[in-house]
């Protein structure tokens, strides 16, 4: 219905690219479905969810009830010859083994953390298990779209970035590249809504559910009206951030990174405290970001001077809003970057990447506006 009425109205007659969705029963999977609903070329024709196999998608996610969707099946029953591309929303660890068995003709965007770290010893250190697809890792392109779109264009397998790394690297990489900020003493105080990706949830479970006892149904009470620093210095997004910053800094960058869980369903803010290079002023940072971002990028916006980017202003959309502020301490600056963790921080950027991999305008299907209030 959705599909045919759009197509009728727009003059297209079919969705010509068939999408498989692995791990459809999580939030990032559901978000892919939401976004693809209005995409003129992509149509979801295969959906797997092992624990929900046999169920309809709308029995798991009633908000998707208006769409015509294939029934959920077990991944072992999936026929990958019927799809042209795959979004993989599976937990880390299992992802590697599944992806390495997929037909090599498929374009794949992986939303897990399994292929984000180039250095497999670092993967093993942070994820506590050896990497199981070492050869494949070498061919992976890291999918931070705005910074790597030329590589993405040619990729077959894209490792979609984590939400925190996206919000941090989008402003920091251009500033490091231009030598406007120092490499050391970068302090990142990040605040996230609770709908984040797997690694966030796993830590939440660890924190709040140390035994599966009486409190397991009370997570609302634990999160509403509170704030909680978690994974202080140990969050798994740290090596991904440091990999990206080190690449551009051309030396090993170690950051201070403290994520906070907030009473907010979607949304993420990174407040980043940096030391500027000698002689550099806040205004230079602003101009640098504005010059490279504003005129070229649809999805990354440097807002007006003095305006504080707010997570609720990008809710539900693929935008990242950024700004730079002077610090009271001379020589320092404060950068604020906001995204929707489920869109630009996960499923939206995945769709943006697949658009590029198919030679489509990268904004295709992603131009709906933020939902505010």
Q: Taking a C-beta distance cutoff of 8 angstroms, is the pair 315, 360 a contact?
A: no
Number of residues that bind a second copy (CB under 8 A): 114
Which of residues 137 and 270 has its CB atom nearest to a second copy in the complex?
270
Q: With contact defined as beta carbons under 8 Å apart, do 116 and 94 qualify?
A: no
The β-bridge relationship of strands 332-339 and 268-275 is antiparallel
Binding residues for a second copy restricted to 44-83, rule: CB under 8 A: 51-52, 59, 61-67
Binding track over 261-280 against a second copy, x by CB under 8 A: -xxxxxx-x-x-x-------
Contact set for a second copy, span 286-315 (CB under 8 A)? 298, 301, 303-304, 307-308, 310-315
Nearer to a second copy, 132 or 209 (CB): 209
- Window of 93-101, 126-134, 137-145, 248-256 that interacts with a second copy by CB under 8 A: 248-256
Site residues for a second copy, window 83-112 (CB under 8 A)? none
| Ranges within 351-370 binding a second copy (CB under 8 A) | 361, 363-364, 367-370
- The answer to whether 5 contacts a second copy (rule: CB under 8 A) is yes
Q: Is 220 helix (H, G, I), strand (E, B) or coil?
A: helix
Is residue 163 part of the annotated active site? The answer reads yes
Cβ distance to a second copy smaller for residue 65 or 121: 65
Residue 365: name the closest of 24, 64, 6, 26 by CA.
6
323-352 binders of a second copy (CB under 8 A) = 325-330, 332, 334, 336, 342
Contacts of 329 (CB under 8 A, 6+ apart): none
Nearer to a second copy, 132 or 312 (CB): 312
Residues between 201 and 240 with contacts to a second copy, criterion CB under 8 A: 201, 204-205, 208-209, 211, 213-230, 232-233, 238
Residue carrying the six token digits 């599909």: 3
Q: Which is nearer to a second copy, 155 or 336 (CB)?
A: 336
The catalytic position among 88, 89, 163, 320 is 163
Residue 126: alpha-carbon gap to chain centroid:
19
Q: How far is the CB of 221 from a second copy (least distance, A)?
A: 4
Smallest CA-to-CA distance from 327 within 279, 272, 288 is with: 272
- Closer to a second copy by CB, 155 or 204: give it: 204
Which residues have CB under 8 Å from 172's CB, separation 6+? 181, 186, 245, 272, 274, 335
Least distance in angstroms from the C-beta of 172 to a second copy: 15
Binds a second copy (CB under 8 A): choice among 120, 187, 248, 277: 187
Rg from Cα positions in the chain:
20
| C-alpha span between 277 and 78 (Å, rounded) | 53
Q: Which is nearer to a second copy, 244 or 267 (CB)?
A: 267
285 binds a second copy (CB under 8 A): no
Question: Within 13 Å, how many C-alpha atoms sit on residue 359's CB side?
Answer: 1
- Smallest distance from the beta carbon of 162 to a second copy, in angstroms? 17
Listed in order, strand segments (DSSP E) in the chain are 17-22, 42-48, 72-73, 85-88, 107-110, 141-142, 157-159, 187-192, 228-229, 256-261, 268-275, 300-302, 320-326, 332-339
Site for a second copy in 13-32 (CB under 8 A): 25-27, 30
How would DSSP label each residue in 147-205?
HHHHHHHH-SEEEPPPHHHHHHHHHHHHHHHTT-B-SS--EEEEEE-TT--HHHHHHHH
What residues numbered 133-152 form the site for a second copy, per CB under 8 A?
A: none
Q: Which residues are catalytic?
A: 163
């Amino acid at each position: 219905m959705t599909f045919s009425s759009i197509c009728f109205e727009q003059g297209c007659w079919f969705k010509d690219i068939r999408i498989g969705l692995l791990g459809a029963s999580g939030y990032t999977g559901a978000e892919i479905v939401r976004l693809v609903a209005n995409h003129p070329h992509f149509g979801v024709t295969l959906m797997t969810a092992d624990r929900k196999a046999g169920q309809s998608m709308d029995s798991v996610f009633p908000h998707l009830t208006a769409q015509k969707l294939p029934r959920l099946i077990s991944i072992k029953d999936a026929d990958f010859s019927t799809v042209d591309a795959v979004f993989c929303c599976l937990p880390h660890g299992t992802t590697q083994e599944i992806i390495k068995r997929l037909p090599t003709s498929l374009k794949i965007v992986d939303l897990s953390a399994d292929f984000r770290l180039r250095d497999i010893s670092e993967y093993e250190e942070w994820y506590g298990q050896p990497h199981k697809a070492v050869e494949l890792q070498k061919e992976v392109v890291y999918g931070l779209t705005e910074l790597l779109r030329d590589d993405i264009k040619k990729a077959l397998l894209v490792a979609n970035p984590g939400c925190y790394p996206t919000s941090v690297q989008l402003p920091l990489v251009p500033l490091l590249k231009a030598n406007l900020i120092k490499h050391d003493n970068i302090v990142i105080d990040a605040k996230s809504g609770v709908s984040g990706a797997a690694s966030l949830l796993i830590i939440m479970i660890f924190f709040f559910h140390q035994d599966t006892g009486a409190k397991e149904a009370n997570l609302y009470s634990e999160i509403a009206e509170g704030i909680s620093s978690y994974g202080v210095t140990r969050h798994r997004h740290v090596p991904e951030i440091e990999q990206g910053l080190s690449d551009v800094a051309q030396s090993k960058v170690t950051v201070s990174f403290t994520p906070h869980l907030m009473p907010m369903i979607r949304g993420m803010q990174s407040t980043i405290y940096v030391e500027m290079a000698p002689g550099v002023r806040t205004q230079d940072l602003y101009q640098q970001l504005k010059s490279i971002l504003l005129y070229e990028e649809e999805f990354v916006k440097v807002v007006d001077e003095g305006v504080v980017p707010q997570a609720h202003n990008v809710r539900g959309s693929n935008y990242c809003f950024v700004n730079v502020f002077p610090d009271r301490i001379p020589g320092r600056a404060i950068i604020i970057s906001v995204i929707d963790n489920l869109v630009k921080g996960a499923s939206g950027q995945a769709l943006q990447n697949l658009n590029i991999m198919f030679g489509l305008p990268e904004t295709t299907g992603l131009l709906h506006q933020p939902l505010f209030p």
